[in-house]
Amino acid sequence: MIVRLVIAGLLLAHGAIHAGFVSARPPATAGGPPWPFELGRSWLLSPLGMSAETARLLGTALVAVTIGAFALAAIGTVAPVPAIAWRAGALAGALASIALLAIYFHPWLILGVVIDVAIIALALVFDWGPERLAD
């Protein structure tokens, strides 16, 4: 059960880090790095003429889907629910996260994409799920 709890915690943490996109930006420090979670700036949407307000709305929706889906995956990891709960949550969370991180790209966020690709690979390529863990 401890392994299931660790996996659930990692899924929740990965989902929760996306809240940085909708949380208050910390005060800038002199010479400090720029805040990487910015929904008002998109390399993809801005050239298409999308307003910053619409871009923020789309980003906020992707954040909500990402956090909710990873929460479902975490529940599916530890609770006696159908195995599809984990797979659906993990895939929906990873895909929403990739979309969010791609649309509002910052080089620091590449680790998040790597984690999402690993989750997709586990779920689809290796057909892994928490039901394969011994209790």
Q: Which sequence spans correspond to the domains of the chain?
A: 2-20+52-132
- The pTM (predicted TM-score) of the whole model is 0.91
DSSP-derived secondary structure letter, 59: H
Numbers of helices and strands, H then E, in the chain: 4, 0
pLDDT per position as a tens digit, 11-33: 999 999 999 999 988 888 888 78
The DSSP code sequence of 77-135 is HHSS--HHHHHHHHHHHHHHHHHHHHHT--GGGHHHHHHHHHHHIIIIIS---GGGS--
pLDDT per position as a tens digit, 95-123: 999 999 999 999 999 999 999 999 999 99
